[in-house]
Amino acid sequence: MQLIDAWTHLDHGLTVFESVWRPQPFYLAVASSSSPSWQHPLHQKAADLDDATFRDINSSNEVLRDWVTDCLSDLATDNNDDTYDENGNTYQLQSEAFQSMLDVLQEFPTPNTSQQANERKTYSGRTQPREANGIPGRKWEQVEAFTKLVPKGNNNQYPIIDWCSGKGHLARWMHHSSNANESSCGCGCRGRPVHCLEIDSKLCRAGERLTKKQTTIPTNNGVMFYEHDVLNDALPSILQGENFTYTALHACGELHRTALRVAVQNRVRDVVIAPCCYEKHFGRHDTADNDNDGLLFQPLSTVVKDRTSLSIHREDLFLAVADGVVTSNAKEANVREKEQAWRLAFELWRRDQDQEVSHSRNSVKRSSLLPAFTAALLNNAKKSSTTQLADNHHHLDEYAVKGEALQRLVERQELIRRAFQRSFELWLTMDCGLFLEESGYTVELQQLCDRSITPRNVVIVAHHL
């Protein structure tokens, strides 16, 4: 399946189900005192799930999507073809659209053949090399897998520019792993030179210290750091031109989009980028021909701009990373549930006091996670005048119970929304890939690693023709 065909299937499916994935259950549940008008029959099916079944479905995105497939198939069977939803789509059309998205997920991203499943099992028994010192195990696995996707062979002569390098963990391993006999930096050192772009001076200095400790990397020749604002500053003159490979492992939002723009401007040889946190730095460098400039997501690809009818806002972009925290444990999951229940209780009280429902994602900070619900509200007292509520334990208990009950409903409604997470994430990633294709690159979407290592496991691998 070609990239444009895959994107078209995803765009059609996301358009058909726009009223299902776009509304955010947390805010709508607080604002509504009755069953929300936006609910799809899928939401009622989720609300009816017993706790054991919910946990089973919630534990796996594959199981979740299979369950939604079955539900849609049942809806199509139980309703005539002339039965339409609020958008004029039959349930049969919805079932087919969802299946077409699943077909795309079967093909994209392409499995990383150099990162086989059994490699994950054997990792725990291996000792990390010296160059991996100071890198947490899961992060090290990402670095190792990513490096295997960086083109080698004849292209190995080109220096690497690593965007948003942090302390340079990836940069040092890419330099160490490259197999060139002589690098193009002219110093005679083995391995490709890697130029690290990082805005944080402290991270740059820390990266330089780590590099000096590793005697296999010649200081100031093999791995070099540049304190650089990639969103606002042009590349240093010595880093401009086409004879480079661009890399970025989990550069957030506009950071990875900027890297792609600059890559196209310079027509660099190779691009290997793993996108992340699509909502970060939103609106930077984007333009729109309406009053919502900076509020609407602007696709990079011309064909995406021309063909999609979806208007994507910043809040929508959070869906792309809303696939659950797959790397956390049961204790952390329980803490998140309590945090959400407290936030819901607080917002319910605000609603009942005729205050505007807050759309902040940090109404109750993680530092407020104390045993008592009182502590959470007291933490908000300074900015929200809730002292009188905190003094009334009767109301505290009442809203705590309401918050817990609503949390149970909200997590089931969010379950349905999450069934579209991967499709939306790939829709965004394919926009990047199509932008590169339109600019003369061959493009593949490769799988970085298993989701248990990181859920952001899609890598754009592109080569300029």
Q: What tens digit of pLDDT does each residue of 72-81 get? A: 999 999 887 6
Is 356 contained in some domain?
yes
pLDDT band of residue 400 (cuts 50, 70, 90) is confident
With respect to residue 373, please indicate whether it lies within any of the assigned structural domains: yes
Residue 361: predicted pLDDT? 53
Provide the pLDDT confidence category of residue 10 given band limits of 50, 70 and 90: very high
Q: Are residues 92 and 178 in the same domain?
A: no
Q: What is the predicted pLDDT for the residue at 349?
A: 77
Tell me, yes or no, whether 325 lies in a domain: no
Residue 423: inside a domain: no
Distances (CA, A) of 417 to 18, 148, 377, 446, 460: 10, 34, 29, 25, 25
Question: How many other CB atoms sit within 10 Å of the CB of residue 119?
Answer: 16
State the pLDDT at residue 183: 45
Tell me the pTM.
Answer: 0.86
Whole-angstrom Cα distance, residue 308 to residue 305?
6
- The per-residue pLDDT for 358 is 58
Beta bridge partners of 273: 248, 460
Q: Are residues 312 and 212 in the same domain?
A: yes
The answer on 308 and 336 residing in a single domain is: no
Region of poorest pLDDT, from 156-170, 318-332, 429-443: 318-332
* pLDDT value for 346: 80
Give the pLDDT confidence of 60-76 residue by residue, as tens digits.
999 999 999 999 999 99
Q: Could you tell me if residue 193 is inside a domain?
A: yes
Of 56, 82, 111, the position where a domain reaches its end is 111
Q: How confident is the model at residue 168 (pLDDT cuts 50, 70, 90)?
A: very high
Shared-domain flag, residues 312 and 346: no
> Do 170 and 218 belong to one domain?
yes
- Give domain status of residue 223, yes or no: yes
CA distance 256 to 462: 14
* Torsion region of 296: left, alpha or beta (phi above 0 gives left; psi -120 to 50 gives alpha): beta
Determine, yes or no, domain membership for 119.
Answer: no
Instruction: Report the percentage of the chain scoring pLDDT > 70.
Output: 76
In the predicted model, what is the mean pLDDT of residues 379-390?
Answer: 52
Q: Please say whether the beta carbons of 180 and 189 come within 8 A.
A: no
For residues 310 and 368, state if they share a domain. Answer: no
Domain match, 88 and 16 both: yes
pLDDT for residue 392: 54
In this structure, the answer to whether residues 289 and 187 fall within a common structural domain is: yes
Domain that holds residue 166: 126-320+428-464
Tell me what the mean pLDDT of segment 441-463 comes to.
Answer: 96
**146 with 18, same domain?**
no
Domain total in the chain: 3
* Token representation of residue 446: 């490769």
CATH assignment at residue 252: 3.40.50.150
Highest mean pLDDT among 21-25, 92-96, 410-414: 92-96
At residue 339, the pLDDT reads: 82
Q: Is the pLDDT of residue 375 over 70?
A: no
| Mean of all residue pLDDT scores within the chain | 83
- Of 150-159, 262-271, 376-385, which one has max mean pLDDT? 262-271
